[in-house]
Amino acid sequence: MASTTADDAGSGRLAGATVTMRSGAKNIAYQPATLNPTPSKRYYLYLMLPAIIILAAISIYPFLWLIYMSLHKVDIGGAGDVWNNFKNWSRLARDSKFQDGWWLLIKYSAMCMLLEVGLGVLLAVILNNSRFEKMLVTIFLMPMMMAPVIAGLVWYYLYNGTFGWYHWLLQSAGILGETSILGDTSTAMIGIVIVDVWQWTPLIILIVLAGLKRVPRDQLEANMVDGAGPFRNFLQISLPNLYPFLLIAILLRFMDNFRFIDAVLVLTGGGPANSTKILPTYLFDVSFQFFKLGRGAAIALTLLVVTIILGLILVRLFDSPAGKAGQTSAEN
């Protein structure tokens, strides 16, 4: 692409003929002189504008509102917002549910991720060597297509202490007592983690499979010539090549755990005794059950900041080999 973009037709030809040389590096900016030079930036700007305006209206404007709300006592009835001297914020420091919420969210995400990544990598490695890879992956994908609420409802039914099949299964196997898995403070968290693992392990499988397809074959063969078996081959060659993929998978899942609480809302709603009240659920309660929108805004801001930091790390990863080698693998 032309680094020198002309703004009007006249200078386009001139720019095309320029050959720039920087000291040391050969940097040739060549552009054939055409009747239609590179369209001016303004043309592209006009194309871009509608999307940018819509996006600004539904992201920047609400963001500013969020900051404003976090500094006021927001009254939904229309009585006007009252400045309250950072009370929303100072309250967070004393709010044990808020701190527990963060702790539970991290615990929940970490548990989900450990199980999902472990299972996902194992299954991807197996599937990669399987004849039925295509068919099996397609079947495994099914849970991802389900709306998280519906998944939550189905699992709620399966977990139910009086008529749930999974509860019956666990009880018959002697693992669980009379109380259902969601009814006990010590097991409720495991219950919601299992649902997440059920629904989202396929995503990890997909990502790791894409990564495994891109492990350089020559490296694997060279290692085998050096006497490595399949196991050592996996540890020494495949795994290091998979790291960027795994990192992407982990970050995506982390952010999705922050993003979606649909299943948790249906399964436990944060109970029993707040044992599954992860921060987004708490935020939901504060904002839309008690309608304390000001305090909700302060909590939302903390959640946003952490997600943005995670997002920054993820965007760095987009420049990693995971996203780039796409074309070469298509030919193999």
Q: Is 233 in the site for other proteins (CB under 8 A)?
A: yes
Burial class of residue 196 (count of CB atoms within 10 Å of its CB; 0-12, 13-18, 19+) = buried
Instruction: Give the residues across from 92 on adjacent strands.
Output: none
Q: Is 20 in the site for other proteins (CB under 8 A)?
A: no
- Name residues contacting other proteins, limited to 79-118 (CB under 8 A): none
Q: How far is the CB of 186 from other proteins (least distance, A)?
A: 21
**Residue in 123, 188, 193, 242 binding other proteins, rule: CB under 8 A:** 123
**Residue in 17, 33, 141, 222 binding other proteins, rule: CB under 8 A:** 141
Cα distances (angstroms) measured from residue 226 to each of 35, 223, 281: 59, 5, 53
HSE (CB half, 13 Å, CA atoms) of 226?
Answer: 11
Q: Is 266 in the site for other proteins (CB under 8 A)?
A: yes
Q: Is 45 in the site for other proteins (CB under 8 A)?
A: yes
Q: Under the phi-then-psi rule, with left for phi > 0, alpha for psi from -120 to 50, and beta for the rest, what region is 292?
A: beta
CB 199 within 8 A of CB 146: yes
> Strand runs (DSSP E) across the chain, as ranges?
72-73, 82-83
Q: Is 243 in the site for other proteins (CB under 8 A)?
A: no
**Residue in 147, 190, 273, 313 binding other proteins, rule: CB under 8 A:** 147
Q: How far is the CB of 170 from other proteins (least distance, A)?
A: 10
Q: How far apart are CA 126 and CA 1, in angstroms?
A: 43
**Residue in 41, 110, 114, 243 binding other proteins, rule: CB under 8 A:** 41
Using alpha carbons only, what angle is made at residue 303 by residues 302 and 307, rounded to the nearest 5 degrees? 120
Q: How far is the CB of 200 from other proteins (least distance, A)?
A: 10
**Residue in 27, 288, 290, 313 binding other proteins, rule: CB under 8 A:** 288
Q: How far is the CB of 65 from other proteins (least distance, A)?
A: 4
Q: How far is the CB of 19 from other proteins (least distance, A)?
A: 19
3-state secondary structure of 261: coil
- In this structure, the strands spanning 82-83 and 72-73 are antiparallel
Q: How far apart are CA 101 and CA 150, in angstroms?
A: 24
Point out which span in 82-90, 96-104, 184-192, 250-258 binds other proteins (CB under 8 A).
Answer: 250-258
| Token couple for 129 | 């060597």
**Residue in 15, 69, 181, 250 binding other proteins, rule: CB under 8 A:** 69
**Residue in 92, 104, 267, 300 binding other proteins, rule: CB under 8 A:** 300
**Residue in 115, 146, 228, 239 binding other proteins, rule: CB under 8 A:** 146
| Token couple for 150 | 């519906």
